[in-house]
């Protein structure tokens, strides 16, 4: 029986720990991870060593953010199993990260910005000669922000640059506008 299952982030690693007691038929643990809390994927199998405590370090990518869910599948010698409670670890973005969709676009651009703090952002759309065609100022809240840019219907088909300027970072995206 799992007595305690917990997790915490310490930079680039989600550290998971658990303790057990009175499990004589325990064979192994399968550590599972999910991004939505519903669909879990096996990430590690840990053999029972009859120790009271176990741990596992799940290394994250440099700019990992969002919510990670973990659970243990506890398998006994007979192949029977049960699941532990789910542990949720929230990773805040460490820098501003943006994505733009769709690309190519027709009229509407959807910009998703992950921000580590409250900030202001400038969204500037230019043509390839550098002429600014559109500019929008937005306040960003901490976490995920979705900004819609839908004044693109007047633009001819072609290639454009969307630049996003925040207090700590400037990001540019090359975009194609279709005319159909």
Q: What is the separation, in whole angstroms, between the first and last Cα of the chain?
A: 61
Residue 102 has phi, psi (to 5 degrees) of: -80, 165
Task: Classify 84 as helix, strand or coil.
Answer: coil
Look at residue 15 in the predicted model and tell me its pLDDT.
95
Question: Where in the chain are all domains bearing CATH 2.60.40.1930?
Answer: 97-177
d(CA 163, CA 135): 10
* Homologous superfamily of 97-177: Macroglobulin (MG2) domain (2.60.40.1930)
Question: Where in the chain are all domains bearing CATH 2.60.40.10?
Answer: 2-91
* pLDDT tens-digit map of 105-155: 888 889 988 888 889 999 999 999 999 988 999 999 887 889 998 866 678
Domain topology for 2-91: Immunoglobulin-like (2.60.40)
* pLDDT tens-digit map of 47-65: 988 888 999 999 876 556 6
Nearest to 166 by CA among 123, 125, 121: 121
Instruction: Please count the residues of the chain.
Output: 180
Structure tokens at 89: 């670890």
């Amino acid at each position: 029986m799992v007595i305690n299952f917990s997790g915490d982030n310490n930079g680039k690693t989600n550290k998971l720990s658990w303790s057990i007691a009175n499990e004589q038929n325990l064979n192994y643990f399968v550590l599972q991870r999910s991004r939505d809390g519903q669909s879990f994927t096996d990430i590690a199998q840990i053999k029972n060593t009859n120790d009271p405590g176990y741990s596992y370090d799940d290394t994250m990518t440099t700019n990992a953010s969002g919510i990670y869910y973990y659970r243990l599948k506890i398998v006994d010698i007979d192949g029977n199993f049960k699941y532990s409670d789910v542990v949720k670890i929230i990773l805040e973005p460490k820098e501003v990260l943006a994505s733009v969709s769709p690309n190519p676009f027709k009229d509407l651009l959807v910009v998703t910005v992950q921000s580590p703090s409250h900030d202001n952002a400038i969204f500037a759309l230019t043509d390839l000669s550098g002429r600014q065609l559109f500019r929008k100022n937005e306040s960003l809240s901490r976490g995920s922000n979705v900004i819609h840019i839908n004044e693109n219907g007047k633009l001819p088909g072609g290639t454009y640059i969307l630049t996003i300027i925040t207090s700590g970072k400037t990001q540019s995206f090359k975009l194609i506008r279709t005319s159909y």
